[in-house]
Amino acid sequence: MATTEAVHFFDLYSDLPVPSKSWSLNTLKVRAVLNLKGIPYTQSWMSYPDIKPLITGLGLPPNAQGLPYTLPAIIHKGSVTSNPSGALMDSLPIVQHLDKAFPGPSIFPSGDASFALVLSVEKILGGLWPVFRHLIVPRVAGHLDPRGQEYFIETRSKAFGKPLDEIRPTDQESLDELWKIAETETAVLIRMLKGREGKKGVFFEGEEAGYADLLLASYLAFVERFDQELFGKFMGLGDGEFRELYGACLPWLEGQGVEKEWPVSSA
């Protein structure tokens, strides 16, 4: 069981106003779990170039797959015993740890069945990546600090094989094609939220929120931060299932920890 010591949470900086300052769909997942479970936490906002020195300074090994050094990360020496810093990196290991270490409502209400639901929702949301890549990611850089902006533009341009400012299409045909992908990929999520006849509650499992709900809400928040028009189209899908779920999850997405400066050595 966790101690009364607050969790320290590392999020990515943006110039967006509180309570929308947190924008990354990955860090939002952890923020939402902290708030849903009522876990006391402090928070620090990090610039992209500081992630690697932060993570290495905490003694964490790089990820074996994907980006080697990422946020979110947390520190909680009272419950994390796998390293001297009491640190964890990456959203899924973090939220699973928080769910076990702290009391409050479980983010997996039906146990293994809820975890299987999370994997299914995550797989479906992965089909939206072409939409996010072309419409949302190019707008992120404009809301970062100068160092983070330079880093983001350089790394994403290299990853995409073309300048970041050329990624977002301007012709209506391409925009319509991307929205068709969004409609197709989200259709099953709408059906899952609608559920069987007589289903009660706005969440996937009814009246009790779980991590699958927070996962979807984090993706929707990522859109809301950078493209209000596209967000409005998502909210209008189906019979308002996304709108109702997002509204129910909003307090957990917007909750804030106590601000704490965290100096990082230069990379």
Query: Which whole-number Å values give the CA distances from 157 to 143, 162, 197, 237, in the listed order?
Result: 17, 5, 47, 32
Question: What pLDDT does residue 2 have?
Answer: 55
Question: What pLDDT does residue 3 have?
Answer: 62
Question: What pLDDT does residue 266 have?
Answer: 62
Q: With 60 as the cut, is the pLDDT of residue 267 above it? A: no
The predicted-structure confidence for 93-151, as pLDDT tens digits, reads as follows: 999 999 999 998 999 999 999 999 999 999 999 999 999 999 999 999 999 999 999 99
Q: Which domains, from first to last, does the chain contain?
A: 7-107 (3.40.30.10), 112-253 (1.20.1050.10)
Q: What is the DSSP string of 118-153?
A: HHHHHHHHHTTHHHHHHHTHHHHGGGS-HHHHHHHH
List, in sequence order, every beta strand (DSSP E) within 78-173: 87-89
| Spatial contact of 48 and 233, defined as CB atoms under 8 Å apart | no
The predicted-structure confidence for 172-229, as pLDDT tens digits, reads as follows: 999 999 999 999 999 999 999 999 999 999 999 999 999 999 999 999 999 999 999 9
Q: What's the CA gap between 146 and 143, in Å, rounded?
A: 9
The predicted-structure confidence for 44-98, as pLDDT tens digits, reads as follows: 999 999 999 999 999 999 988 888 999 999 999 999 999 999 999 999 999 999 9
Q: With 60 as the cut, is the pLDDT of residue 152 above it? A: yes
Strand 73-75 vs strand 87-89: parallel, antiparallel, or unpaired?
antiparallel
Question: What pLDDT does residue 264 have?
Answer: 86
Q: With 60 as the cut, is the pLDDT of residue 1 above it? A: no
Residue 248, phi then psi, degrees to nearest 5: -70, -30
Mean pLDDT of the chain: 96
Question: What pLDDT does residue 228 have?
Answer: 97
Question: What pLDDT does residue 37 have?
Answer: 97
